[in-house]
Structure 1
């Protein structure tokens, strides 16, 4: 029977949750010649290839294992704590399982596919023990909507050509011999030698338990690592869950070597030609638990689309004093595109204890569109992390937002607790915000807001308002909101030129109890505030103590070669509440 990969039903958007540590694997991945995933997959069972001689895998069909008929895989070539298997084909039908036996003392199981077909994993893949499982098929790997993992250890799936074990040798698909007696050490490399590496597709949306509505997709136990490394990786509505552990996704488009650090993270050098990673149809990565939990995605282009969600942090009701969530990192040599309502976030959830980690994006270009969001926040008892963007060429926010906040939920905490919001740190060539896009560093609760720090070699532009709600300006906000207690953060912009146009705004203010932050602008060229919004809204830089606010207003400091205010644009430092207004200082070497 042949199943067309392209016509498998898309995954439904579900929910997720739970996770913690990673076994110290040291894997370097050597990428080789491998065909891209073809449009069809031969869904026949599991067939060993005979390359291990008297140590070949022994497959027992139709064994009832944990409630489903499964293929049990015994035998294999034992080398110290490593166990090696080799197959001509490896596929699992929906509703069935495939389980590797785990002899005493075996800590890692390595499985390779030497035939020409991709693997179609439509059912359950498991290990009858605590060993980590490494699965290699250069031709491609598909995880269907009902695919699941039943493991006690970590899991790595790759379309590499070979595993490398330091100087001890390779376990390869291109020269499929029995493993050397020396392959008793931890793997140190995966070797790609293909012109085009195979694709990994994940559509898994399986529940955490039969009958549950809580969907987790492919899940490893709490604290373990889950790694996908292919030519391209396509998360087509699928989910990956490693609560408190780590998720690593990498894409490599040509020959080369990828390292895996002892903590399980991939290292793909900038000199290696990368493939693309895409998240669509509500795809989810989730590492939330009470501590740790890292997400790393490394590719040429990374696209997070269709209400997809990448999330790290501290889960509700989890954590303890001293808990620290891991970081969420996207690293692209090309473009990171986040759109269509998708979320990339790291947060301390309500009733959680501990500090959130950072969201870090490194790319040549970053595009955030269509109500998509990048955020760090705290809704519980802990500090928010930072949003750190290092983008070589350009950042475009078109109707998308980047924010860090201390949530109103924290007002229920003891008065002695003062939390800290995260900073938004942007380093780029140029920055453009339009159509109601916003940078926000606010406190709605009990804690200090973070600051917005922009460093651009070229121009920074804020322009216009939301086309669907003209009350929403394109803006940078740093505020202490009504009812909140804490200091506001600064808006600090350094660039060649700054343009604030057509009703856009820079605002630092306090409506609660606490001082406002400052607005600091340093431009080597010109600063221009001009144009009005659709309802006549002017373009402004504004610090204020508003209404019932209590605190000092922030200062506005402007330094440039020339400064232009047109069409009613203003620099305003004022107070309407209980506290002094700040000052406005303009330094220009040319025209004002």
Structure 2
């Protein structure tokens, strides 16, 4: 996979070296000792210069030399004399000339490390080499620190005090001198090689087998502290404090980088040149090298760190480590290859690349995979990460910003990522992208702008990637097509893939865009998402205005598929095919659009062997062609308020196929389960559902779906959710967890007494309760509420007269037991025989405010002790399927102080008053829960106080679609005189500065599609749950319980959670904490 033309126009610069550059005269002594009392002695011996004398530290472990100049011509040897007691030999050059070393540096007589310090600069020529028993350090600092004492580059030294190992290098000048290496600097096995200067250019070789290499460009005015010998290399650069001692100031002028190359040292250097403008360029490119930069051509070692103050520029570099490799730049890391010479960064340990301002990679010309790691591979920057290359990691692969969060990257030509571990990055913009991993893949927004026209070779996806703006994400693979081809780290780095049966690898992404705009005459790109675990995406768009929509394929072998809207529509081409398949998990999607304006609509395929399928609207229509086929294989969930609407309108005929894989559901309860009272009912569950649907429509307007008009549908829905819970328990090995067995209990007014219709997955049962007169039911319900809430409840009934001797205004248990008896006595045996443990009550309107949890069978046994209880409007408006809410992104908003919003309104009790809304002190703590990963696994966004307004709710929820919206505030019902007469209440939600009605909310958040065809609505990306954690709901208004159904239907929300009772602020916090922690 190569590029025929580079990102930047490469050209060779023929640098003309200055005519003043001369070689070191062969008849002059190359090394001259300084007459400063150090006592260094240089003795010529043929081509060898023996260096003896010098000064020792007090402990005899450090030997110091001082030179006026230190140069070596080709063939010369600088031989430093040592003994076994000397650990370190340190030499300084004080004369102000650059040291030009084009010969051999060696030590004889001991195993010492060698340090050379020359602030004026150091050049290692093409013939430079090392013959050292220990480590080697070259530096242009003006001081080497031993604790608080200094080996000064100029002036007098107290040599006896310089004990221990040198660990600090001081650069007190404004721009330190440079180091250039064109030679072969190699130390023996296990030793270290260090080059520290203001600028470091290495066009030669650096080698430290099983050792450590440190190359660093340091800004002036700073100290560098490195780890002692024998420890893992670490680098700390910092300015000194005012109280720390400083080395003597270097006052001699320091040659700039161009002067270093056009002066005496230039003729000994290759691979770098100076153009006519005085700019230094690396040979074979127009990439400049400036003060503060680092370049390196060949590096071979165990662990290496290349660190630049400004830019780290690596052209045709070959960097190989058996351990970790760190590539660091204060500004930009730049990497290039060529057709004949590869760029390689191969680390058998971790490969870490950090460019604080940007990372610029273009390495596609040579066939060798440039970036390979045996451990983790990380690209880190707060700026643009341009990754035109192929990456292969045996560990995790990640793109991060400097704070450690997922970072963004772009690619203009050809990005392919392969990882044995997890892959994570932020937003991606660029050409077709392929990511494969044995672990999971986590991404931000992905925008594909074109095909990968640079890809060549035998990649199995080459036709897909090169033909369209495609995206391929495959997680949880057993093998990789493009694996890292290297042995494991020799220094003990190991990695274990997170994939496996116990934790299937997953894919998570935000908005995916492979679409073409109206100005582009191209097709929408393919989207392929494959993983054994969960697959989640906020939305997927592969539509095209002028050509065909793209193909979208989403497949999970064992996890949940959860997406927002999916769009593969076309204006004048064919709609694309959408296939969503999960072998054993559930499928949840938003609206799906494969329609076409003039050609054929695209096919939509859903398949789930054992999970449920829950979608938004599906549109495969065509203006003049054929509508697309819709094929659904699996259990379709019809319990959502936001029901599936299928549109297949076309000018021609269309086929639709729906296959249900559920077991047969019996139409009646088996006779051995029926009590004697059971008989053929006059009122059935389906008739109740139709009646209650009409009741809600009359109250709130049209637009509500008729979901259950057949009792078999109800039984099937109950049977499906029981299976779903059983599958979840099996998958999670939670055999100890009880599987819900659900019954729907309908209460109906028959003449003047109570009738109960019971529906379970096994059938229907109807019983009359003649002694439960409806007026008595209402009175006992209102008395129970009054005694529990300690508030007077107005009623049109004279309950003393209705209840007579059984009237009791003091003991709530009297009414709680009687209500339990009426509701449960005839059906309890049926419930016990079927193992029912969950009750859904759909009540007559007069009974909807009965506090069901307070009903008790006897003094010790309450209804809630035996059953999970829920009050529902009807099954049609209730979603009974289960999904763990903590895995969904949540938008949490609220306010605690409403001093800016004094509302004047007519309240429920009918009194006109102006009141100050109470402070909700617990709201900040409630909202903070969503930023606590111990409670909430998925991403949470919290907006509170002055930012809690309608505009922010609208903008934030649509900018990054959330599946859950949680509002912690006041909410309630208000009436004007006209509404009082109609016994209707207008619902409102209190924002920080104003209150908004249900109509206000619908107009802003979910306007009619026909009026606003281009506006994103809540129902388009599917809000699963709206939570109203409201303290003041003003109970007692006629129809108040219906408002919450209206919230779901009008706002396009799947489910709404709210309280019909007034709840205190602290009580609301406790309730929400328990709910969130489920």
TM value normalised by structure 1: 0.68
C-alpha separation between the residues in 2 aligned to 1:188 and 1:511?
47
Equivalent residue, structure 1, for 2:82:
102
Query: For residue 391 of structure 1, what is the aligned residue in structure 2?
Result: 381
Q: Which whole-Å CA distance do the structure 1 matches of 2:583 and 2:376 have between them?
A: 30
Which of 447, 452, 472 matches 1:506? 472
Are 2:164 and 1:185 aligned?
Answer: yes
Distance apart, 1:173 and its partner CA: 2.0
Summarize the Cα distance change of 1:274–1:198 in structure 2 as closer, same or farther, 3 Å threshold.
closer
Offset of residue 231 of structure 1: 0.6
Residue-by-residue CA offset, 1:417-468 (whole Å, 9 max, x unaligned): xxxx311011135311221122222xxxxxxx222111x3xx42132xxxxx
1:285 aligns to 2:299 (yes or no): yes
Change (3 A) 1:133 1:512: closer
Q: CA deviation at 1:42?
A: 4.9
User: What displacement does 1:189 show?
Assistant: 1.7
Distance across 2 between alignment mates of 1:581 and 1:571: 20
Quote how far apart the aligned CAs of 1:564 are.
2.9
Structure 2 counterpart of 1:75: 53
* Aligned with 1:339 (options 322, 336, 340): 336
Higher share of residues assigned helix: 2
Q: 1:250 aligns with which of 216, 239, 258?
A: 216
Question: How far does the alpha carbon of each residue in 1:486-506 deviate from its partner, in whole angstroms, 9 at most, with x for none?
Answer: xx3222113xx4312321322
Residues 123, 512 of structure 1: alpha-carbon distance in 2 compared, 3 angstrom cutoff: closer
Partner in structure 2 of residue 409 of structure 1: none
Aligned counterparts of 1:84 and 1:267: Cα–Cα separation in 2 = 24
Q: Partner of 2:663 in structure 1?
A: none
Query: In the alignment, is the contact (CA less than 8 A) between 1:111 and 1:134 conserved in 2?
Result: yes
Q: 1:363 aligns with which of 356, 369, 372?
A: 356
Residue of structure 2 in register with 1:265 after alignment: 233
SS at match of 2:137: strand
Equivalent in the alignment of 2:541:
564
Q: Choose which of 363, 372, 376 in structure 2 pairs with 1:376.
A: 372
- 8 Å CA contact 2:515, 2:523 repeated in 1: no
Kept in 2, the 8 Å contact 1:423–1:450? The answer is yes
Aligned to 1:275: 292
User: How many Å separate the matches in 1 of 2:536 and 2:333?
Assistant: 33
Check the 8 A contact 2:64/2:159 in 1, yes or no: no
Q: Deviations over 1:164-183 (max 9, x none)?
A: 2112x2221232x2433211
Say whether the 8 Å CA contact 1:41–1:119 is kept in structure 2: no
Structure 2 equivalent of residue 403 of structure 1? 392
| Structure-2 change in CA distance of 1:364 and 1:41 (3 Å) | farther
Distance in 1 separating the partners of 2:117 and 2:21:
19
Distance (Å, rounded) in 2 between the aligned partners of 1:82 and 1:424: 44
The answer to whether the 8 Å contact 1:572/1:584 transfers is no
CA shift, 1:232, in A, is 0.2
Gaps of 5+ in 1: 1-5, 9-37, 64-68, 205-216, 288-292, 314-325, 348-355, 378-383, 405-420, 442-448, 464-473, 480-487, 545-551
Matched, 1:152 2:133: yes
RMSD: 3.2
CA contact (8 A) 1:557 1:585 kept: no
Residues 142 and 169, structure 2, Cα contact 8 Å, conserved in 1: yes
**How far apart are the structure 2 equivalents of 1:385 and 1:179?**
46
Structure whose residues are more often strand by fraction = 1
Aligned equivalents of 1:275 and 1:85: distance in 2? Answer: 28
SS of corresponding position for 2:356: strand
1:170 maps to what in 2?
150
Structure-2 change in CA distance of 1:583 and 1:224 (3 Å): farther
Please list the CA deviations of residues 555-577 of structure 1 after superposition, one character each: whole Å capped at 9, or x if unmatched: 531126xx53313234313599x
Superposed CA offset, 1:493-534 (max 9, x none): 13xx43123213223165869989533103xxx5422149x9
Are the aligned partners of 1:230 and 1:251 in contact in 2 as well (CA < 8 Å)? yes
The one-character-per-residue Cα deviations of 1:337-387 (angstroms, maximum 9, x if unpaired) are: 11124121213xxxxxxxx3443435321111132865334xxxxxx3011
CA distance in 1, matches of 2:521, 2:133: 60
Separation (CA, whole Å) in 2 of partners of 1:439 and 1:165: 46
> How do 1:303-314 residues align onto structure 2 when only pairs under 5 Å count?
303-313=312-322
Larger radius of gyration: 2
Determine the C-alpha separation between the residues in 1 that align with 2:360 and 2:587: 33
What is the Cα deviation at residue 40 of structure 1?
A: 6.7
8 Å CA contact 1:337–1:368 kept in 2: the answer is yes
The higher relative CO (CA closer than 8 Å, separation ≥ 6) is in 1
Residue of 83, 106, 114 corresponding to 1:133 = 114
Partner of 2:73: 93
d(CA) in 2 for partners of 1:554 and 1:542? 15
Output the CA distance in 2 between the equivalents of 1:127 and 1:191.
26
| Structure 1 residue 535: Cα displacement | 12
Cα 1:368–1:203 change in 2 (3 A) is same
* 2:177 aligned residue: 198
For residues 96 and 527 of structure 2, the distance between their equivalents in structure 1, rounded to whole angstroms, comes to 63
In the other structure, the counterpart of 1:437 is 415
Q: For residues 448 and 588 of structure 2, what CA distance do their matches in structure 1 show?
A: 18
Unaligned residue ranges in structure 2 (runs of 5+): 1-14, 241-289, 402-406, 451-468, 481-498, 558-581, 591-960, 963-1015, 1022-1078
Structure 1 residues 123 and 537: alpha-carbon distance in aligned structure 2, compared to 1, 3 A threshold:
farther
Q: What is the CA deviation profile of residues 99-140 of structure 1, one whole-angstrom value per residue up to 9, with x for unaligned ones?
A: 100034111000000001111110100111210000001111
8 Å Cα contact 1:557/1:586 also seen in 2: no
Q: Secondary structure at the match of 1:133?
A: strand
Change (3 A) 1:157 1:583: farther
Partner of 2:565: none
